[in-house]
Structure 1
Amino acid sequence: MLSPQWLDELRARVTLSSVIMRTTKLQRAGREWKACCPFHNEKTPSFTVSDEKGFYHCFGCGAHGDVIRWMTDQRGLEFMDAVKELAAEAGMDVPRPDPVAAQQAERRASLVDVTEAAQKWFVQNLHGEAGQHAADYLRSRGFKKRIVEQFGFGYAPDSKVALKGALSDFDEQMLVESGMQISVDDKAPYDRFRDRLMLPIQDTRGRVIAFGGRILESRDGVAKYLNSPDTPLFDKGRTLYNLHRAGPVSRQSDRMIVVEGYMDVIALANAGIEDAVAPLGTALTEMQIELLWRMVDAPILCFDGDNAGQRAAMRAITRALPMLRPGKSLQIVRLPAGMDPDDLINERGPAAMADLLQRSSSLLETLWLFERDAQVLETPEDKAGLKARLLAHVDTIENQDIRSLYRRDLLDRFSAFAYPPRERSAFSGKGWQGGKKSAPGKLSPEVAARLRSASSGGARGELAGAVVAGLLRFPDVALAHAEALSHYAASDPKFGPAIDSALEAAEMLDPDGILPISGDIGQPAPPDKTRFAFLQEGYDPDCAREDLAEAVSLLVERPALEAALSAATARFETDPEGAFAEQQRLLKLKLEFEARLGQMASNRAARAASSDSDLPPAELQAEEQQMD
């Protein structure tokens, strides 16, 4: 346990500006420093650093913290890693929690000595005679000299004992424990990496903790890529390749790109895109997603355009769904079929890659498209299967609000796909075919009686009554929003029966031409038509359908919004601060909801009234100016 006194001593011993200026250019401003903020893009400096006060602050985005906060937020380090790095600079010993933990830390530190020594040896080999063909391979890939040095390329010779000889200062057990050698039963240990182009894998502090090796020529039965095994230093499920370099860059770009392999990361860096990381031989894990979310709110997952890339995207999505929380999600980019990032950059240039990243898709959109296209959907059973798969994904989301919103959005997409609007072959933009109205659709006596019964009664809410009347005029809108309307009807005992009957009536009409549902079946008198333009005779039918769709949207939103408000109010006893914030957010949404309702009910009607005027537009405008 680190005491507050010890942490204060650490902060006092480290000069904040000297730490920050390693990655951010500071300018002296009196007794303080200033710079353009590294946490958001700006042209005029609003970021200040005060060594006397021991904190930094941005007057633009509000970023604020001390030297430890800088290491965790800007460098992306874990708290204890930040403390240890600063303590080493300050010449302070970090209090050890217990002897066992201290012994493990010492062991890990000694293993880092092994991997760091191996890295230096690999680099020497690359620039020697033995590594000539590895150097030729790098040149053939077009990697710049700066990139080769920055990423630490090296070469492991084709020998089972060369590394052991080069690292003879370390005992054999340390070479095995660090993953540099393989020990099998009673045989002598031998080098793990042989005749491979080598890349160091580093932790968030930049220390070499493992390696990746790529073969230079294809050989049967030999894996193209080989990574170090899990060791006391290296846990591949908790490590992201290149995070220590990409983290500071992402603070400037507000973007983090995740590609499939480390060679993809290097290809992007070679093209000037330096905020990319990669998992290490596994699907993206929950811990890796959390690491990414510490950097940005919505990292971009970039996958190859083949089937394997699509499956990798879905594995990442299914891992992320239970973890989603407000403000934290994923963006997805799919490369053209048969291409990886290097191929795309070489064939179409860095601008093509940048453009693709700009057009990333949301997690929800990718989930919908994957499941929709997963199989041919020809029968009702096929479509029902699609709906079941979508809802199964939704049910894994732990956050209640996000789960509800995903359910609603995916069901709306499913409804639009499974129940597409029928062609209005009897209608054109100028009116009914031939300039005449066809006879309204005839219903069976049973359905007409049920609709008449469901629609009768006392006073109605204006919006719900207007929607019911509108659905009778435009049954095609009812069919287009059948799923959402059915869900709403189940929760509204007053207007639900009328909406259900209207949907049933719409489904029974002649599919060759959607006509109004017969007006002689006893539906209640519609609301004031001046407040709902889609109920007015002579109003453009296409505009009326658009307005009615908006009214349906408002109608089905209201119960969800009211339920969320009730839930937030109920939380006041257990979480007053969180409940208040949520209530304020929801009240703001409710005000926006009422504004949308008012705009639809008044502005649309005003537009309809204007369109009924016999005056030409210019004369109508003049008349309005005189009235003003």
Structure 2
Amino acid sequence: MDIKSARSQYDCRLEVEKALGQPKHRSGKSWAWNCPFHQDHKTPSFNVYEEGYYCFGCGAKGDCFDWFAYWRKQTLGDILKAHDVDPMAEIQRKQEYAEHAAKRLEAEIQKAQQALTELREVQSWIRYHDNLDDASRVMWETRGVPCWYQDWIKLGYDPSHIFWAGQEYQSPTLTIPIYEPETWEVSNVKHRILGDASDKIGKYRPEKSGLPAVLFPASPDMPVSGRVIAVEGEIKAMVTYITLADPNIQIVGLPSKNPSESIIKQLAACDDLVLCLDPDADVVSVAHEIGNKVRVMRLPEKIDDYILTNNLDGDWLKSQVRMARRA
């Protein structure tokens, strides 16, 4: 029997549940337990899916057969033989896959490095900033971003940006340079699409594809450490930073509702992290992935809309931060 057919007989979540009992947390297709592979007594970081498992704490990963081998204290070869799978064929398949994955990763890294070099040489965000006129500055101001902040981090405007998403699209955009904290090195430029194209290709597109999605630091002068508030998206981070007006707290914008493993680790290293995602996000699941230091701030609307609609100030926001509680 081939490995794929043998693996399809099992739901890894159910097999782990037989061994570890009821999961600590369920979110969609993922069930979470305290990790049996390392000291994980507080926050469940061992996420199990139908086809396998992954621990965000120690990096342990595998499929149902890897789990059987670990839990039953048997070799993987013995487990595979018991399921009529040729161990040598599976080992060879894994080696070939690992070699292919390594080559693909190396090619992706080289491509990303080239894209980043080109981006920094061209410095398109400076040109976009120079495009700002009274009308485009008002677009930023109506989103809660005043002129001083526009000039500080070089927000901009492109009257006719061309995108490729299966076909060519052309649209005016507001532009956001994404800086590395403290160094002010640009990691990418994000475009907020203003035209009808947003209905077809989404509201946001990066200047350079193939580069990793990273945190947006609302204050590029500060590191992402110590006291941090994480919100969903760059403009929300700007509005939160401007409203809070606290030089001791960094505000970061997550690139999506489901942050990557590298972003999870970056946030987990913060001393005091407050997480405020949009109402439709699974904030509890994200908080559990980050760790036990996380406090959650819940609002009935997106944080920037809520602040602007209700004309809220820094004192209100500071009180919300103080009232944030663990998930």
Compared with structure 1, are the counterparts of its residues 350 and 202 closer, same or farther at alpha carbon in structure 2 (3 Å cutoff)? same
1:256 pairs with 2:228: yes
Shift, 1:283, TM fit: 1.2
Equivalent residue, structure 1, for 2:250 = 275
Equivalent residue, structure 1, for 2:65 = none
In structure 1, the residue corresponding to 2:254 is in which secondary structure? Answer: coil
1:125 pairs with 2:125: no
- 1:41-92 deviation line (CA, Å, top 9, x unaligned): xxxxxxxxxxxxxxxxxxxxxxxxxxxxxxxxxxxxxxxxxxxxxxxxxxxx
Equivalent residue, structure 2, for 1:287 = 262
The residue type equivalent to 1:111 in the other structure is E
Shift, 1:299, TM fit: 1.1
Matched residues in 2 for 1:229 and 1:213: separation? 7
Aligned ranges for residues 125-144 of structure 1 at < 5 Å?
A: 125-127=131-133, 132-144=134-146
Q: How many residues align?
A: 217
Matched residues in 2 for 1:343 and 1:263: separation? 13
Aligned ranges for residues 118-197 of structure 1 at < 5 Å?
A: 118-127=124-133, 132-158=134-160, 160=162, 182=164, 194-197=171-174
Aligned ranges for residues 387-536 of structure 1 at < 5 Å?
A: none
* Higher alpha-carbon Rg: 1
Where in structure 1 are there 5+ consecutive unaligned residues?
A: 1-98, 161-180, 367-628
Asked if structure 2 preserves the Cα contact closer than 8 Å seen for 1:126 and 1:154, the reply is yes
Matched residues in 2 for 1:318 and 1:278: separation? 18
Equivalent residue, structure 2, for 1:228 = 206
Shift, 1:125, TM fit: 1.6
Aligned ranges for residues 191-340 of structure 1 at < 5 Å?
A: 194-204=171-181, 205-216=183-194, 221-222=199-200, 225-228=203-206, 231-232=209-210, 234-236=211-213, 239-242=214-217, 245=220, 247-248=222-223, 254-271=226-243, 272-273=245-246, 275-294=250-269, 296-304=270-278, 306=279, 308-309=280-281, 311=282, 313-320=283-290, 324=291, 329-335=293-299, 337-340=300-303
Higher normalized contact order (CA 8 Å, seq sep 6+, divided by chain length): 2
In structure 2, the residue corresponding to 1:355 is in which secondary structure? Answer: helix
Asked if structure 2 preserves the Cα contact closer than 8 Å seen for 1:214 and 1:224, the reply is no
Scaled by the length of structure 2, what TM-score is found?
A: 0.56
In structure 2, the residue corresponding to 1:348 is in which secondary structure? Answer: coil
Matched residues in 2 for 1:199 and 1:224: separation? 16
Matched residues in 2 for 1:206 and 1:279: separation? 18
Scaled by the length of structure 1, what TM-score is found?
A: 0.31
Shift, 1:222, TM fit: 4.4
Shift, 1:275, TM fit: 1.2
Equivalent residue, structure 2, for 1:107 = 114
- 1:563-594 deviation line (CA, Å, top 9, x unaligned): xxxxxxxxxxxxxxxxxxxxxxxxxxxxxxxx
Matched residues in 2 for 1:293 and 1:157: separation? 39
The residue type equivalent to 1:302 in the other structure is C
Shift, 1:136, TM fit: 2.1
The residue type equivalent to 1:112 in the other structure is L
Asked if structure 2 preserves the Cα contact closer than 8 Å seen for 1:137 and 1:216, the reply is no
- Name the % identity: 16
Matched residues in 1 for 2:219 and 2:261: separation? 19
Matched residues in 2 for 1:101 and 1:286: separation? 18
Compared with structure 1, are the counterparts of its residues 153 and 141 closer, same or farther at alpha carbon in structure 2 (3 Å cutoff)? same
- 1:6-28 deviation line (CA, Å, top 9, x unaligned): xxxxxxxxxxxxxxxxxxxxxxx
- 1:327-381 deviation line (CA, Å, top 9, x unaligned): x52111101x23524523653322111100011111xxx2xxxxxxxxxxxxxxx
In structure 2, the residue corresponding to 1:126 is in which secondary structure? Answer: coil
Shift, 1:291, TM fit: 1.1
Matched residues in 1 for 2:198 and 2:229: separation? 33
Compared with structure 1, are the counterparts of its residues 331 and 220 closer, same or farther at alpha carbon in structure 2 (3 Å cutoff)? closer
In structure 2, the residue corresponding to 1:331 is in which secondary structure? Answer: strand
Compared with structure 1, are the counterparts of its residues 246 and 354 closer, same or farther at alpha carbon in structure 2 (3 Å cutoff)? farther
Compared with structure 1, are the counterparts of its residues 341 and 355 closer, same or farther at alpha carbon in structure 2 (3 Å cutoff)? farther
Asked if structure 2 preserves the Cα contact closer than 8 Å seen for 1:202 and 1:209, the reply is yes
Compared with structure 1, are the counterparts of its residues 220 and 103 closer, same or farther at alpha carbon in structure 2 (3 Å cutoff)? closer
Equivalent residue, structure 1, for 2:323 = 359
Aligned ranges for residues 585-600 of structure 1 at < 5 Å?
A: none
Where in structure 2 are there 5+ consecutive unaligned residues?
A: 1-105
Shift, 1:267, TM fit: 0.5
Matched residues in 2 for 1:159 and 1:318: separation? 39
Matched residues in 1 for 2:150 and 2:315: separation? 22
Matched residues in 2 for 1:106 and 1:198: separation? 22
Matched residues in 1 for 2:170 and 2:296: separation? 34
RMSD across aligned C-alpha pairs, in angstroms?
3.5
In structure 2, the residue corresponding to 1:110 is in which secondary structure? Answer: helix
Could you say which structure has the higher strand fraction?
2
Compared with structure 1, are the counterparts of its residues 222 and 137 closer, same or farther at alpha carbon in structure 2 (3 Å cutoff)? farther
In structure 2, the residue corresponding to 1:256 is in which secondary structure? Answer: strand
The residue type equivalent to 2:145 in the other structure is F
Shift, 1:121, TM fit: 1.7
Matched residues in 2 for 1:339 and 1:100: separation? 38
